Amino acid sequence: MGLFTRRKTDAKDKDQARDLITDRAEITRLLERMQRKRSTLSITSESLAEPFSSLLLHVSPAKGRVALDQLHPIAGDRRMQIGTPLLAASRLDGVDARFGVIIERIFQHEGSRIYQAEMPELLHYLQRRAAFRAMVPAEVPLPPFRLKDPSGAQIRAQLVDISSSGLGAMITSGIPVGVGEYLACDLNLPGARMVADVQVRATSKVLGNRRIGALFTDLNDRQRAYLDKVVAHFQRMSLRRRAGHSS
């Protein structure tokens, strides 16, 4: 067992950088995760004087459709009809997400009215990322770490940089990974092993190798405080090295 194990909590970073996602596969992954976690949707519309609550009940990428639960309180549902545009806002792993749909069908299921709509073509995903990201010093011999996708397939990677909000790494072996994918991460850091979940936010090729940038989605306060210490340690090492080179 490592010193830290995974525990689900909201991300707590200060700065915000808005991402507008248009990739169909990534939108599907985010919506399916929202559905599995039963994330509450705050629904607004021109026909509504205030927000109402709902849930994302079904995501069908093959049919290009989503299904939303009846609005609560029931007063909101009375204003819903075919052609009504809805703006849905939610939080997924501590990150704000919102998308728009237009109701194309309303049907009854188990005593509730269900709203069917086309899959959204874009999704706003408000990524919180504020912490300074420090490069791993060359003199720190960190071993490769493991990433694992939901199917259990493993990926080996070498840590390049890290902060209390995310990491950068070079993939050394394993299956390809894409933007939006969620991976289990097993990191070996100075003095401790840390297990957490990450979401891939960027991929690129560097000298023929695959590099990823990922955002932590589940850090608890103890893990975040430990990462702050690791980053500060790496910064001090970097500053000492620069001072030595300039003297």
Which tens digit of pLDDT belongs to each residue from 182-204?
999 999 888 888 999 998 888 88
Q: Is the pLDDT of residue 60 over 80?
A: yes
Q: Is the pLDDT of residue 8 over 70?
A: no
Q: Is the pLDDT of residue 82 over 50?
A: yes
127 pLDDT tier (thresholds 50, 70, 90): low
Measured between alpha carbons, how far is 100 from 114 in angstroms, rounded to an integer?
16
Please give the DSSP secondary-structure letter assigned to residue 64: T
237 pLDDT tier (thresholds 50, 70, 90): confident
Residue reference for tokens 């990450």? 198
Cross-strand pairs, 173: 156
Q: What number is the average pLDDT over the span 20-40? A: 89
211-214 long-range contacts (CB < 8 A, ≥24 apart) are 211/160, 211/168, 211/169, 211/170, 211/171, 212/157, 212/168, 212/169, 212/171, 212/177, 213/166, 213/167, 213/168, 214/166, 214/167, 214/168, 214/169, 214/183, 214/185
Least confident of 32-36, 65-69, 70-74, 231-235: 231-235
- 48 against 14, higher pLDDT: 48
Measured between alpha carbons, how far is 60 from 118 in angstroms, rounded to an integer?
9
Q: Which residues contact 140 (CB under 8 A, 6 or more apart)?
A: 190, 234, 237
Which tokens hold the place of 133? Answer: 């990201």
Q: Is the pLDDT of residue 176 over 90?
A: no
3-state SS, residue 240: helix
3-state SS, residue 49: coil
Q: Whole-model pTM above 0.75?
A: no
Give residue 19's pLDDT: 66
SS3 helix, strand, coil % of the chain, rounded to 5? 15, 45, 35
- Give percent of the chain above pLDDT 90: 38
* Displacement of CA 158 from its chain's centroid (Å): 21
Mean pLDDT of the chain: 83
